[in-house]
Amino acid sequence: MKRVNGHEILTLFEQWSPKRFAENWDPIGLHIGQLNRPIEKVLITLDVNEAVVDEAIEKGAKLIIAHHPPIFSPLKHIWTDTPQGRLIEKCIKHDISVYAAHTNLDVAPGGVNDLLASRLGLADIGVMEPTISDPLYKLAVFCPVEQADELRRVLARSGAGAIGDYEGCSFTSTGTGRFTPSAGADPFIGEVGKLEEVIEERIEVVLPGPLRSKVLKAMLAAHPYEEPAYDFFILDQRTEEFGLGRVGKLPEAMELKEFAQFVKKVLDVPAVRIVGDASKSVRKVAVLGGSGSKYIRAAKRKGADVFVTGDMDFHSAQDAELMDLAIVDPGHHVEKVMIEGVARYMEQACLKKGYDVSFIESQIDTEPFRFV
């Protein structure tokens, strides 16, 4: 097993929940500390408060991955006799680093919203409100016939040519390449000052925008020519969409009051608030962890009968009622599903890589609301 530092752990995490998935107002990433020290244990939590930092100290976790960013607004000072200042001081004194994955973890496939949708037993799950879709590129590269197979392999290994469930897709056509090496050149084929004709293959592969620099680097390293000829094209076609919230179907329709009880049970909350006729039949469900008041129209547009989300405010509840969209509000704290979800995902990812690190689920209840 390999000893790892915070960078190595979070590089794996960001392959799942990349920073580009976050909303632009969201202060995600490393908040406190640094990532160069070795890490043996990581504590996963919804929120960071002093009790959570004490738990990290007690359990020997030098890295905390939290959903809610502990420093939301820029600080003008760190006064260590205030709760927030004391928390930062405690982390630094104990070499504990804190990293936040917020809306990027909401958007990530398998992240907060997919975890909630799966707790609710939804099928045919889709994104409720698309927020990001990567541009799609095509790379066309010209290469001598003898080296073309190796280049195709390198391109496939770097992730180019993935289309749906197919990997390493490419198209090749053959033609004649012409070039004259000039003084100073060190040609793989031909001589300085002499026009050369070479039978070459044009290899075409598609790739998503975020892979562009990785694929280009791999292609340049593997290509036999000193100055490879290649083109990148931006494609005007639909790519995979990522976004906030999920919409899916219950296996069977149920009455709203029955569904509300079910939500209470599977999301492990003491109470829910509902909007709508308690005997309304619901089957298509929209779900968004955290505060979903802003998204009632998105849920309605997707044809949801009921929207499960937290922090529903009075006027949005009235609007939902008018548009015949039922609401089940189990509170914001249902996002606690991320604790187990992130721990399980990262355990598997680190196991595959042979990383010697364990993930601990925080036992501190950070729900501020009590029900009486």
Alpha-carbon Rg of the chain, whole angstroms? 26
Between 62 and 333, name the residue whose CB sits nearer to Zn ion.
333
Q: Which residues contact 10 (CB under 8 A, 6 or more apart)?
A: 30, 35, 99
Contact between 91 and 72 under an 8 Å Cβ cutoff? The reply is no
Which range touches Zn ion (CB under 5 A), out of 53-61, 240-248, 288-296, 345-353?
A: 288-296
Instruction: Kindly state the smallest distance separating residue 101's Cβ from Zn ion, in Å.
Output: 11
- Residue 341 sits in the site that holds Zn ion (CB under 5 A): no
Instruction: Kindly state the smallest distance separating residue 96's Cβ from Zn ion, in Å.
Output: 22
Question: Which amino acid does the sequence have at 278?
Answer: A
Which range touches Zn ion (CB under 5 A), out of 130-138, 165-173, 282-290, 317-325?
A: 282-290
Which range touches Zn ion (CB under 5 A), out of 139-147, 273-281, 286-294, 320-328?
A: 286-294
Instruction: Kindly state the smallest distance separating residue 265's Cβ from Zn ion, in Å.
Output: 21
- Residue 6 sits in the site that holds Zn ion (CB under 5 A): no
Cα–Cα distances (Å) from 116 to 85, 119, 268, 334, in that order, read 33, 5, 11, 8
Instruction: Kindly state the smallest distance separating residue 241's Cβ from Zn ion, in Å.
Output: 22
Query: Out of 290, 292, 330, 331, which residue is the one contacting Zn ion (CB under 5 A)?
Result: 290
Question: Which amino acid does the sequence have at 48?
Answer: V
Instruction: Kindly state the smallest distance separating residue 290's Cβ from Zn ion, in Å.
Output: 3
Between 4 and 288, name the residue whose CB sits nearer to Zn ion.
288
Q: Which residues contact 314 (CB under 8 A, 6 or more apart)?
A: none
Contact between 244 and 129 under an 8 Å Cβ cutoff? The reply is yes
Which range touches Zn ion (CB under 5 A), out of 82-90, 187-195, 236-244, 327-335?
A: 327-335
Between 114 and 335, name the residue whose CB sits nearer to Zn ion.
335
Region label for 309, one of left (φ > 0), alpha (ψ between -120 and 50) or beta (otherwise): beta
Distance from chain centroid for Cα 159? 18
Q: Which residues contact 184 (CB under 8 A, 6 or more apart)?
A: none
Run of H or E residues at 118: helix 112-119
Q: Structure tokens of 331? A: 């509170």
- Residue 276 sits in the site that holds Zn ion (CB under 5 A): no
- Residue 69 sits in the site that holds Zn ion (CB under 5 A): no
Residue nearest to Zn ion (CB): 290
Instruction: Kindly state the smallest distance separating residue 335's Cβ from Zn ion, in Å.
Output: 5
Instruction: Kindly state the smallest distance separating residue 46's Cβ from Zn ion, in Å.
Output: 8
Instruction: Kindly state the smallest distance separating residue 28's Cβ from Zn ion, in Å.
Output: 12
Instruction: Kindly state the smallest distance separating residue 114's Cβ from Zn ion, in Å.
Output: 15
Which range touches Zn ion (CB under 5 A), out of 114-122, 249-257, 285-293, 360-368?
A: 285-293
Place of tokens 């804190």: 98
Which range touches Zn ion (CB under 5 A), out of 6-14, 79-87, 331-339, 348-356?
A: 331-339
Contacts with Zn ion by CB under 5 A: the residue count is 2
Q: Is 215 exposed, middle or buried (0-12, 13-18, 19+ CB in 10 A)?
A: buried
- Cα 325 from Cα 288, distance rounded (Å): 14
Q: Which residues contact 183 (CB under 8 A, 6 or more apart)?
A: 192, 193
Between 111 and 290, name the residue whose CB sits nearer to Zn ion.
290
- Residue 310 sits in the site that holds Zn ion (CB under 5 A): no
Nearest to 211 by CA among 127, 138, 131: 138
Contact between 303 and 280 under an 8 Å Cβ cutoff? The reply is no
Between 32 and 334, name the residue whose CB sits nearer to Zn ion.
334
> Residue numbers of the site for Zn ion (CB under 5 A)?
290, 335
